[in-house]
Amino acid sequence: MKALKIVLGLVVAVVAVAAIVVVIGVQNLDKIVKTAVEKVGPEVLGTEVLLSEVHIDITEGRGELRGLTVANPEGYSPANIFSLGQTVLDIDTSSLGGDVIVINEITIKGANLLAEQKGLKDTNLQALLDNIQSGSKSASSSTEPDQTSDASGSDVLLAVEKFTFADSNMKLVSEQFGEHSLTLPSIKLTDLGTKDKGLTPEELANAVVKPLLAQAKKAAQKRIEALAKEKAEEKINEKLNEKLGEDGAKKLNELKSLFGK
């Protein structure tokens, strides 16, 4: 009986210590995630990344991020190129003790992007893509094995089964065409890393941000081309109207309406 009491006492003591460790870990997990995002983000994007709120509930396997902002690349306005509405993570809790942490789904809703055009070709979206590409080359050419460990959390491996980016908008600012608002199409990605071979936070950020920016760049270019076409047509019509005079222009418009143009 005495031996049984000793064993039970040890079990209770171990459970108590484990509970304390879990409580401390959970209490600091939000801060750890926030620090990792604000550390890894600038390394991947080459510009400031800030995160206002993090709420991770390990027992429920749920995480939520709010107030994520990405500063514009150097040479553009002081406004943020990206601001996040809400990010929700569904975490596979059974994977937390393994080599790769599996996230069943990441959903981002209500994000706002800013697309700025300078001159004929330069855009902040392309500048950010260039930063990502430059960072990827630097990382791959580095020969220092511990260069990004600990601080950036690159020794943590992740796998995301499903990523959804929806209900987002973009403001297009052009020196030639002014400001315009666009609705961005939804983006869905799957199988970013696997349970056997996970991605570092840098690799995961790269895999998510690059297609997002490419989609935004495509939407911005399409709108700019449409605006350029409209402006060109307006100039042609102005010149034509000048040559034809008021009566000639009126007859031309009547002829266009007759043919549905």
pLDDT at 90 (0 to 100): 92
pLDDT at 8 (0 to 100): 43
The tens digit of pLDDT for each residue in 12-66 reads: 444 433 433 344 444 567 887 788 888 888 888 889 999 998 888 878 888 898 8
- Comparing 2 with 229, the larger pLDDT belongs to 229
Contacts of 98 (CB under 8 A, 6+ apart): 195
Contacts of 131 (CB under 8 A, 6+ apart): 45, 46, 47, 73
DSSP of 4-16? HHHHHHHHHHHHH
pLDDT at 10 (0 to 100): 43
The tens digit of pLDDT for each residue in 85-114 reads: 788 989 898 888 788 889 999 998 888 989
DSSP of 68-82? EEEEPPTTS-SSEEE
The tens digit of pLDDT for each residue in 205-226 reads: 788 878 877 877 788 778 777 8
CB 147 within 8 A of CB 204: no
The tens digit of pLDDT for each residue in 165-191 reads: 888 888 888 877 788 888 888 889 999
**β-bridge partners, 12:** none
CA-CA-CA-CA torsion for 94, 96, 100, 101, nearest 10 degrees? 90
pLDDT at 195 over 70: yes
Nearest to 112 by CA among 226, 222, 212, 221: 212
Nearest to 76 by CA among 129, 50, 114, 38: 114
Local confidence band at 138 (pLDDT 50, 70, 90 cut-offs): low
Local confidence band at 136 (pLDDT 50, 70, 90 cut-offs): low
Tell me, what amino acid is at 96?
L
Which of 100-109, 141-150, 235-244 has the highest mean predicted lDDT (pLDDT)?
100-109
**β-bridge partners, 226:** none
CB 187 within 8 A of CB 165: yes
What is the pLDDT of the chain when averaged over all its residues? 75
**β-bridge partners, 103:** 91, 160
Rounded alpha-carbon distances, angstroms, from residue 137 to 44, 131, 192, 260:
11, 10, 20, 54
pLDDT at 244 over 80: no
Local confidence band at 193 (pLDDT 50, 70, 90 cut-offs): very high
pLDDT at 148 over 50: no
Site of tokens 């990523």: 163
pLDDT at 17 (0 to 100): 39
pLDDT at 59 (0 to 100): 82
| Separation of alpha carbons 74 and 90, rounded Å | 35
Nearest to 57 by CA among 16, 25, 98: 25
pLDDT at 74 over 80: yes
pLDDT at 6 over 90: no
pLDDT at 122 (0 to 100): 82
